[in-house]
Amino acid sequence: MRDLISFNSDWLFEGTETVTLPHTAVELPFHYFDERSYQRGFTYEKRFTPEPEWNGREVTVHFEGAMADARVRLNGEEITAHKDGYTPFEARLTGRMKDGENVLTVEIDGSENPAIPPFGGQIDYLTYAGIYRDVWIKLTAPVSIASVKIETPDVLADVKSVLAKVVLADPQGLGVSGSLIAALVKDGKSIAETTIEVQGECAEVRLSDLRDIALWDIEDPQLYTLRLTLETAHGSDTLDTRFGFRHAEFTTEGFHLNGRLVKIRGLNRHQSFPYVGYALGKAAQRKDAEILKYDLGLNLGRTSHYPQSRHFLDRCDEIGLLVFEEIPGWQHIGDKAWQAESIENVRRMIRRDWNHPSIILWGVRINESQDNHDFYLETNRVAHELDATRQTGGVRYITDSELLEDVYTMNDFIMGEFEMGGNRPRTALRPQREVTGLDHDVPYLITEYNGHMFPTKSHDQEQRQAEHVTRHLDVLNAAYGANGTAGAIGWCAFDYNTHKDFGSGDRICYHGVMDMFREPKFAAFAYQSQRDASEGVVMEPVTFYARGERNIHGILPLIVLTNVDEIEVRYGDFPPVRVQPDRDAYPHLPHAPVIVRPEHFGDGGLGVWGMTWEHGEIVGFKDGKEVARRTFVSDPLPTKLVVVPDATEVETGEAVRVMVRLLDQAGNKLRHATDPVSFEVSGPAHLFGPDLVPLRAGSTGLWLRMAGKGKVDLTVTHPILGQTTVTLQAI
């Protein structure tokens, strides 16, 4: 048996403060801060006394991630060092601990050391210092299982098999000799088992003749566990690894999952959050995956631009969200030593994550770098050598780039270029051969679009937000229409804090279809409405519903992002009007939006400037039946403050997001509201960020971290509506 013991609590930070991991070295304001504030060294120290049951076992301390250049000392002696800020590292404690109290010290360096990828140039995101992921103590038998790579060679055949490539660890040099039992486990039951004798540190074990195996798919992500048990004269060790049976391949026809074409509809994700940067743990990481899949209706997330939390990937496996994962970097390629470190990053990423069925592509270029033949030949070689079961991509924005990867992965920002002069009319995507410069098709995936070409805030004027929506729809439509293109991944899911050299001057890139709290902008519904209505009816009119918000006035033309068949618009005493999705404008989308135009109402549209502004209603129909209804009042007033936690039972140590929204009489958000709201927490929980904040576009969010078991009351006070309290349970 092996034990994993959480080592997250009671770290002494900078010699003064006791903190719990994940931890950010410097909590930041929401925006307008100096990112140099965390770009320096920090020290964490943990005092611990080995437990009697650690005796006779291998003891390892495991760090999931620390930013960056970590040096770990035990009682003053350096036991490991790790430069990369995004991948795990371990140090053996066996035989090095003394009786009684031991001191584990971790020094990190938050400065952007140009010797370490992604640093050396400018980067459009922040790399917040801290031990920002979990730390574990791992206890195993002296001879144990170090790692396993699970492959499913004949995955689409009726009769399947599992090949496990196992590495065994014998740090004491006792000699590896014993038996290895491999069991395939589904829903807690072993459904196939085999035993082999092992000698030496490498072993391959195969489970064959497997029948009635369910595939992992985006709609039905079936997972299996491979339970490996090593029995030697020195004890036994068991390692459970989750995996799935699935076949993923990019070809010139597009992306095939389990033999069928699936158009990729994705967004890029940065792993950052307001105030705490990278330092939110399991619950928040898992929630982000759920937001991408369910709230945005996506089938893929790209981990721009680095390996992201294991918790995020685990959840992607569980819910069927595809992942394109890539090595750390942004445009800049450093010297040979830097490149060697980057090649190591390829190894570290693939070794950590090769068993996640959700991952379908390795990104082995520095995002948006120039061609570099030798360097990228090597990153590709290493990726293929370590994992022959997955293809490689490498994200570029340059055309005619040397294709050393399996998939030409391209950031196509052409939508938006019509505003920069030149002769090209407004274009959503370029044809792939124009991009690649090749005379034949290759596997091709769009990895970014929009983003900095059209930054849009949730408090921007309605017309700008409608244009934001339109640009996302136009590219999606073009990607669906481009036969052979695997799909498109937009920039990006969430607004993010960034360096002064990017963004809107307040250290935010407003490139998300959601804000930093993951509150949707209208463009979020361009994605969500593409899902099947059986997964949830979507009907989101792109309007604040006001006579005078737009230039000229009025709310027409009105885009309604929806997956219903038809809508009915009711306005004041005007006769109701029925409008269908605009298939002419969006022939390729799974669900074209409805566009309500002035003509639908006859001359004058919905009345003119100076006339009374009336209530309105939009009703959605599917198969002739009403499935959705939105009511809009002409005289919106603050009526209700809703406080919505993502969960009411939260594990101790985990953070839960709580959204606060100011609604009018009809339940619509008051989109101009900037009222201050204050937070008061009673019970064992810590509030990240300030306790007095403005609403932004009618909403705000917060994260509460549970500091112990018990009842937690969060009271939110609004100047007009007074107090609302929600009760959470820390378990």
Q: Is 128 in the site for ligand GAL (CB under 6 A)?
A: no
Q: Are 155 and 246 in contact (CB under 8 A)?
A: yes
Please confirm whether the linkage preceding 509 is cis (ω < 30° from 0).
no
Please report how close the Cβ of residue 145 comes to ligand GAL at its closest, in angstroms: 38
Q: Which residues contact 94 (CB under 8 A, 6 or more apart)?
A: 57, 58, 59, 60, 171, 172
Label residue 439 exposed, middle or buried (CB < 10 Å: 0-12, 13-18, 19+).
Answer: exposed
Tokens at 684, concatenated: 């064992």
Query: Of 325, 326, 368, 540, which one is the catalytic site residue?
Result: 368
Cα distance between residue 695 and residue 692, in whole Å: 10
Q: Is 325 in the site for ligand GAL (CB under 6 A)?
A: no
Q: Closest CB to ligand GAL among 164 and 523?
A: 523
Handedness of CA 272, 274, 278, 284 (dihedral sign): negative
* Interacting positions 388-417 with ligand GAL (CB under 6 A): 411
Q: Closest CB to ligand GAL among 11 and 491?
A: 491
Cα distance between residue 443 and residue 302, in whole Å: 17
The residue range among 228-236, 238-246, 445-453, 524-532 that interacts with ligand GAL, by the rule CB under 6 A, is 445-453
Q: Is 27 in the site for ligand GAL (CB under 6 A)?
A: no
Tokens at 209, concatenated: 């003749």
Please report how close the Cβ of residue 363 comes to ligand GAL at its closest, in angstroms: 11
Please report how close the Cβ of residue 328 comes to ligand GAL at its closest, in angstroms: 12
Please report how close the Cβ of residue 521 comes to ligand GAL at its closest, in angstroms: 15
Please report how close the Cβ of residue 508 comes to ligand GAL at its closest, in angstroms: 12
Going through 542-639 in order, the beta strands assigned E by DSSP cover 558-562, 566-571, 577-579, 594-596, 616-622, 625-632
Cα distance between residue 703 and residue 274, in whole Å: 9
Instruction: Determine whether 368 is an active site residue.
Output: yes
Q: Which residues contact 668 (CB under 8 A, 6 or more apart)?
A: 545, 630, 632, 633, 636
Q: Is 326 in the site for ligand GAL (CB under 6 A)?
A: no
Residue 550: Cβ within 10 Å count = 16
* Interacting positions 82-111 with ligand GAL (CB under 6 A): none
Query: Of 448, 462, 519, 540, which one is the catalytic site residue?
Result: 448
The backbone torsions φ and ψ at residue 260, rounded to the nearest 5 degrees and listed phi first, read -120, 150
The residue range among 112-120, 169-177, 375-383, 446-454 that interacts with ligand GAL, by the rule CB under 6 A, is 446-454
The residue range among 179-187, 448-456, 539-547, 665-673 that interacts with ligand GAL, by the rule CB under 6 A, is 448-456
Tell me the angle at which helices 336-353 and 373-386 cross, rounded to the nearest 10 degrees. 20
Q: Is 451 in the site for ligand GAL (CB under 6 A)?
A: yes
Please report how close the Cβ of residue 582 comes to ligand GAL at its closest, in angstroms: 27
Q: Closest CB to ligand GAL among 488 and 558?
A: 488
Q: Is 452 in the site for ligand GAL (CB under 6 A)?
A: yes
Amino acid, res. 524: A
Tell me which residue of 314, 306, 347 sits closest to 240, measured CA to CA.
314
Among residues 27, 124, 288, 519, the one that binds ligand GAL under rule CB under 6 A: 124
Q: How many residues bind ligand GAL (CB under 6 A)?
A: 11
Q: Closest CB to ligand GAL among 254 and 329?
A: 329
Angle at 287 between CA 725 and CA 643, to 5 degrees: 15
Please report how close the Cβ of residue 304 comes to ligand GAL at its closest, in angstroms: 6
Q: Are 669 and 705 in contact (CB under 8 A)?
A: no
Q: Closest CB to ligand GAL among 323 and 641?
A: 323
Among residues 405, 448, 474, 495, the one that binds ligand GAL under rule CB under 6 A: 448
- What are the CA-CA distances from residue 257 to residues 12, 210, 442, 450 (Å)? 48, 20, 18, 27
Q: Closest CB to ligand GAL among 452 and 588?
A: 452
Q: Is 134 in the site for ligand GAL (CB under 6 A)?
A: no
Tokens at 535, concatenated: 């997964």
Tell me which residue of 546, 542, 562 sits closest to 554, measured CA to CA.
546
Please report how close the Cβ of residue 608 comes to ligand GAL at its closest, in angstroms: 39
Please report how close the Cβ of residue 631 comes to ligand GAL at its closest, in angstroms: 36
Please report how close the Cβ of residue 4 comes to ligand GAL at its closest, in angstroms: 34
Among residues 511, 630, 657, 696, the one that binds ligand GAL under rule CB under 6 A: 511
Site string for ligand GAL, 456-495 (x = CB under 6 A): -----------------------------------x----
- The size of the chain, in residues, is 731
Q: Is 368 in the site for ligand GAL (CB under 6 A)?
A: yes
- What are the CA-CA distances from residue 220 to residues 151, 156, 312, 318 (Å)? 20, 16, 18, 9
The residue sitting closest to ligand GAL, measured at its beta carbon, is 451
Tokens at 314, concatenated: 């685990």
Q: Closest CB to ligand GAL among 122 and 580?
A: 122
Q: Specify which residues 266 forms β-bridges with.
A: 300, 489
Instruction: Determine whether 402 is an active site residue.
Output: no
Locate tokens 């619509």: which residue? 668
Among residues 367, 369, 465, 528, the one that binds ligand GAL under rule CB under 6 A: 367
Q: Interface residues with ligand GAL (CB under 6 A)?
A: 124, 304-305, 367-368, 411, 448, 451-452, 491, 511
Q: Which residues are catalytic?
A: 368, 448
